[in-house]
Chain A
Amino acid sequence: MIKFKRATALLLALLMALSATACGKSDDESNTASEEPTASADTADQSEAPAADGETKEPVTIKFSWWGGDSRHAATQAAVEKFMEKYDWITVENQFGAWTGWEDSMSTAFASGTAPDVNQINWNWISSFSSDGSIFKDLNEYSNVIDLTQFDQAALDDCTVAGELQAIPVSKTGRIFYWNTATFEKAGIAAPTSLEELMAAGETFKTKLGEEYYPIALGEFDRMILMVYYLESKYGKEWVTDNTLNYTKEEIVDGMNFIQSLEDAHVTPSIQTITGDGAESLDKNPKWMDGRYAGIFEWDSSATKFRDALTDSSTFVVGDYFKDMGDYQGGYSKVSLGFAISETTEHPEECAMLINFLVNEDEGIELGASERGIPLSKYALQYTTDKGLLDATVSEANAKVLAWTSFKLDPKFEDAALKSQPDGVYYDVFAGLSYGDYNADEAADTLIEGVNTVLGN
């Protein structure tokens, strides 16, 4: 009896150990699938599947990650399904979610070598995570699979770090004004086309509509980008060139005063007011939805989510850049996001095929449309334009951004130490200025110190 009890206990302990091992990894299926080719190498006739071109290919499983909203998830999942139909020996496992927290988890995955095989990446991830080319594969090596001729060399250069093309640029983006014309009409004025009109609108909103109404809502990072737009318009210099901040303290103080003047003139609510709204982001803020905040300064690729959040989306219009901001055409455009292949993948060819399918092949283009902005691939742009697949608002905004912006952006502008919420330098500086913890002089000092630290100066 004692022996039986011991044997049972030992068996239970072993089962527990086995179950603990099984819990350790969530991608059991992919492991099994990816091991199949190895296992089937000796018995090719049993496991090989027929390929679309008549050849036989070994079954392959790859993982694909992206972030985005519901419409992007639906479109990408549909595109992946099509891809698996077309290349039936490849299985793609999807891993997707919202942006919040995404960068934190992906950076850990890249560092630990557990990232998916194909990844939608933010442009600055190339320089932040793979400045020596150790995280992402050099896609020049797969130019036989990905049609690189569809992309301008300048766009490819933007994704080339350490002499390696580390991502395929999907679209370019920049910040532009958007207005909810319904609120402006309610105030009896037209949506602003100049800085002067915007400044005047603040007072009009306050007197005619009430304290809760503002012509534009600007968060901390929005203020940083708007300040750079203002400074570039006025002084005609890029923010950073060759690891050097191009602006003097006096010039940055000027920029800080400009931002603060917007708050003082009731053009934009204070950071405290926006925080008190309790919304995760501006597009989810009830005051944006019901028109109390009548404008935003946002990415062209984000237009749809702001438009669709409005009670009446027909009153959402793309604004114009302000010509009275300075003598230069300030503002910048940058690669919004790209597709990259993890260095750790065992199936780089199949990963390259998936990327090419999404950016250069009819089915992938059609399903993706403008979900990731206006395509940079010439073929995709032609195809989506001809078929009328592009969102009119995004298209208009993107055209205005690319036509106006003339300055380049240094990738370190979006370094985590500067941009991360809540304790990145930009958040500290502009919230501090708004809360009154910093004056313009102190805010400029903090910003300069933070930027120089990131630049390594």
Chain B
Amino acid sequence: MSASAVAGKDIKQPIKKRTFKKVCKDNAGFLFILPWLIGFIWFKLYPFGSSLIYSFSDQHLFNGVTKWGLMNYQDIFESTKIMRAFTVTFKYAFLTVPLKLVAALFIAYILNFKIKGVNLFRTAYYIPSILGGSVAIAVLWKALFKDDGLLNTLLGIFGINGIPWLSDPKYALFIICLLRVWQFGSAMVIFLAALKGVPQDLYEAASIDGAGKWRQFFSITVPMITPVIFYNLVTQLCQAFQEFNGPYIITNGGPRNSTTLISLLIYNSAFRAHEMGAASAMAWVMFIVIMIFTVISFLSQKYWVYYSDEDGR
């Protein structure tokens, strides 16, 4: 009898003796995550896989599939409408992510000081993030930025001609970006927690050495919180590429598609034109783009993110 056969016999015997109680005990962890697992398979994995299959077909919501191939992916690179949506999405992401991070860090830094009523300010700055892309925000944004809105009325007081914020393709994207930057609350809270974790003795030592507040901020605070900046960068980048609510509720992608982000085009393609195949292909290209940027972000870590538990790097 070979050694492996003996080993095989050894393994099999205990399995026969396993009782139901023992099986339950051994798989208790699996049972606990079962509800989540079912949800994940049904609502994430299955749509994920089926959208990949659809992307290689002309799947129509009502007419089904008539042909298979790479035509949807070919269309993405040939259609000016889709390429324009990708361009707008890149502009949006590269404008909003840095601005939002700077705004969140700046406000978090201020709110980290011991000032009177700081909790009230923290709450107030977090509120826009709770409101998100709602109808109320759409109404507010339109009231602020329409041709005879609040902002143009204020400009008029100073003799400045009103600017067509929402109706001129040059400005509309800026207004949509502003909404996202305004909602910096969640990133701010994470920065605030990180700022509280920076050891005070570092600041004390720097003060003794004569470092001012700005020097302390750039030489101590920023390096110490780079892991959190990195975390916020990756999450904000992913969210910005997938943004939907802002342009959907305020401009509906207009004027002249100047605020049609790729997510909005995917929605229009799937639920208005009913072209599920084309929409799935766009979603997959978007997924790959986000993956590339995420990988680049992770690879860049070693050049600028400081982990104190790794020997200074």
Residues of A within 8 A of B (CB): 6, 9-10, 13, 16-17, 20, 103-105, 107-108, 110-111, 128-131, 135, 271-273, 275-278, 416-417, 420-424, 431-432, 435, 437
Task: Verify if B122 is at the interface (C-beta below 8 Å from A).
Answer: no
List the B residue with the shortest CB-CB distance to A10.
B31
CA distance A10 to B27 in the complex (A): 11
Does the CB pair B31–A417 fall under 8 Å? no
Q: Is the CB of A276 within 8 A of B268?
A: no
B interface residue numbers (CB < 8 A to A): 28, 31-32, 34-35, 38-39, 61-63, 81, 142-143, 145-149, 164, 166-169, 252-257, 260, 265, 268, 271-274
The 7 closest A-B pairs by CB, nearest first: A278-B146, A276-B167, A276-B147, A275-B167, A278-B142, A420-B272, A17-B35
Contact B273 A276 (CB under 8 A): no
Decide yes or no: A416 and B272 within 8 Å by CB, A17-B34, A128-B62 being known contacts.
yes
> CB distance A420 to B35 under 8 Å?
no
Given contacts A272-B167, A276-B147, A423-B260, 4 further A-B contacts (CB under 8 A): A10-B31, A416-B272, A431-B255, A431-B256
Of all chain B residues, which has the CB nearest A271? B255
Contacts of A9 in B (CB 8 A): 28, 32
A20 to B143, CA, bound (A): 40
Supposing A17-B34, A423-B260 touch, asked if A277 and B272 sit within 8 A by C-beta, the answer is no
With most chain B CB atoms within 10 A of its CB, the pick from A9, A16, A276 is: A276
Would you list 10 pairs from A and B whose C-beta atoms are within 8 A, ordered by A residue?
Answer: A9-B28, A13-B35, A17-B35, A110-B62, A128-B62, A272-B167, A276-B146, A277-B146, A422-B257, A431-B255
What residues of chain A lie closer than 8 Å to B31, measured between beta carbons? 10, 13
**Interchain CA distance A271-B260 in the complex, whole Å:** 17
Would A108 and B35 be within 8 Å (CB), given that A276-B146, A423-B257 are in contact?
Answer: no
Contact check, A107 vs B61: say whether CB atoms are below 8 A apart: yes
Tell me the minimal C-beta distance from B293 to chain A in angstroms.
26
Contact of A423 among B34, B61, B147, B253 (CB under 8 A): B253
User: Hey, which chain B residues are within 8 Å of A111, CB to CB?
Assistant: 61-62, 274
**Across-interface contacts of B274 in A (CB, < 8 A):** 107, 111, 416
Report whether B142 and A437 are in contact in the complex, using a CB–CB cutoff of 8 Å.
Answer: no
- Point out the residues of chain B lying under 8 angstroms from A104, CB to CB: 271-272
Q: Report the bound CA distance from A6 to B166 in whole Å.
A: 58
Inter-subunit contact A108/B61 (CB<8 Å) = yes
Q: Which residue of B lies closest to A20 (CB)?
A: B35
Q: Is the CB of B268 within 8 A of A420?
A: yes
Closest to B163 in A: A276
What residues of chain B lie closer than 8 Å to A435, measured between beta carbons? Answer: 169, 255-256
What is the minimal beta-carbon distance from A422 to any residue of chain B, in angstroms? 5
Q: Which residues of B are found within 8 Å of A417, using beta-carbon distances? A: 273
A residues less than 8 Å from B146 (CB atoms): 276-278
| Min C-beta distance of A116 to chain B, whole Å | 18
* Chain B contacts for A272, CB-based, 8 A: 164, 167-168, 255
Do B28 and A16 have beta carbons less than 8 Å apart?
no
A105 to B61, CA, bound (A): 12
Given A278-B145, A420-B268, A273 contacting B62 (CB threshold 8 A)? no
Q: In the complex, which residue of chain A has the Cβ closest to the Cβ of B147? A: A276
Q: Which residue of chain A is the closest to B269 with respect to CB atoms? A: A423
List of A residues within 8 angstroms of B260 by Cβ:
422-423
Q: Which residue of chain A has the shortest Cβ distance to B144 in the bound complex?
A: A278
Q: Does the CB pair A421–B145 fall under 8 Å?
A: no
Query: Which one, A10, A131, A273, A277, contacts B28 given CB within 8 A?
Result: A10
- Contact partners of B28 in chain A: CB under 8 A: 6, 9-10
Q: Which residues of A contact B167 (CB under 8 A)?
A: 272-273, 275-276
CA distance A423 to B147 in the complex (A): 23
Bound CA–CA A16/B169 (angstroms): 49
A422–B252 Cα distance when bound, in Å, is 7
Query: A278's closest neighbor in chain B, by CB?
Result: B146
Min Cβ gap A355→B in Å is 23
Taking A108-B271, A422-B260 as contacts, is the C-beta distance between A278 and B252 under 8 angstroms?
Answer: no
Most chain-A CB neighbours within 10 Å: which of B81, B149, B166, B256? B256
Neighbouring A residues of B265 by C-beta, 8 Å: 423
A17 to B30, CA, bound (A): 13
Query: Which of A16, A129, A275, A437 has a CB less than 8 Å from the CB of B35?
Result: A16
Contacts of B147 in A (CB 8 A): 273, 276-278
Q: A432's contact among B32, B81, B253, B256, by CB below 8 Å, is which?
A: B256
**Which chain A positions have C-beta within 8 A of B38?**
17, 20
B23: min CB distance to chain A, Å: 13
Tell me the minimal C-beta distance from A237 to chain B in angstroms.
Answer: 28
CA distance in complex: A129, B61 (Å): 9
* Assembled-state Cα–Cα distance A6/B260 (Å): 52
